[in-house]
Chains A and B, each alone.
Chain A
Amino acid sequence: MLIIKDLSKKYYNKTALRKVTLNFEPGKIYGLLGPNGSGKTTLMKVVAGLHKQNSGEVLINNMELSHKTKAYVSYMPTENFLYDSFKVRDLLKFYKDMYDDFRKDYAEELLCNIDINLNYKIANLSSGQVGKVKSVLALSRDADIYMLDEPLNGVDILSRDTILDIIIRSYNENKIIIISTHLVGEIEKILDSVIFLKDGSVELLGEVEELRQSHQLSVENLYKEVYKDV
């Protein structure tokens, strides 16, 4: 369970989040949508315990943010953070050492399924392969909350489909999966709910099927409506 109450965050003189209040339920896949600078990454980093909020509350499994709650959250940053000199195999070992909840067998199985050899060197991977490996690593932890920051960015179209498959496969009814993206059209079929962030505030939120029904629009077209003057 993830509860965010009146969360605000400032960087120097820029306000990144303004009194954001959100509830996330297990068993659902959430899309965190908005253009660059709308607060998506900041929100994820606060929940992951990497940034501290200025005010407001974040409760993970009824606990306030601490080093303890970090263990419940698997966060995938948008940057390529993989060590170039490593082989895929070394990465898995590294993750196993880093995280008690890392399911190495599951990661190996996924990688085998998407034709990524454990002996590949990170430096030689295409950006699509890097994207896939990053998602596999994040989703192979047995966490309660997964936060993937722009998993489809800079990834070719076939690899995008594979990443969506990995996400669907890793879903289960006890987990919260939060995906930030501005590539809405490609991801909306796997989402339960969406949150539109604008200037650090929640502009709109709802279940995707209900939004389609009530607006007679795809989430992508709704996105264009919401941000047309941004």
Chain B
Amino acid sequence: MTLIHAKEGDQLEFNNNIPIYLQVIEKIKQDIVSGKLKPGEKMPSSRDYSYELGINFNTVARVYKELEMEEIVFTKRGLGTFVTESTQLIEKLRKNMAEKLVEEFVSGMKQIGYTQEEMINFIKSKNRIERNE
């Protein structure tokens, strides 16, 4: 028993207006596509994960169930839950997530009157500034 104090890493701040399992799924997907979670890596057990995140056990069980249905994780009987080994699937997931972000960005920029060209220029100039920093 060590977890009561030692809550390592980035403690998720949850938005209680949105189902928590969806937020955890999103976080795990981010960690997978960014490489923080490696293909084939073992995930914490539902119990440990619920301690770590400070959330209900059944919520975590649901997260794993949904991710398993999407084939993003798989379960080996008696051994635990693992990140998919398919780099193809991870690449697809990464692209899907990027698409969603771009869609949100584009629709937001449209709402404040940006044309496509302005958006592209904006990204380029922003990128330049960040690289110089």
Contact = CB atoms under 8 A, between A and B. Distances in A.
A191 interface: yes
Q: How large is the interface on A (under 10, 10 to 19, 20 to 34, 35 or more residues)?
A: 20 to 34
Contacts of A28: 58
B43 interface: no
B21 A209 contact: yes
B5 A171 contact: no
A213 B21 CA distance: 11
Interface string A157-197: 00001101110110101000000000001001111100000
A216 interface: yes
A188 B14 CA distance: 11
Contacts of A217: 17
Where chain A touches its partner, the secondary structure class is helix
Contacts of A220: 16
Given A113-B2, A171-B57, A189-B14, 8 more contacts: A165-B3, A168-B51, A169-B3, A171-B56, A190-B56, A209-B20, A218-B16, A221-B16
Closest 10 CB pairs of A and B: A218-B16, A209-B19, A113-B4, A218-B17, A212-B19, A189-B55, A165-B4, A190-B56, A213-B19, A192-B58
Interface of A: 27-29, 109-110, 113-114, 161-162, 164-166, 168-169, 171, 173, 185, 188-192, 209, 212-213, 216-221
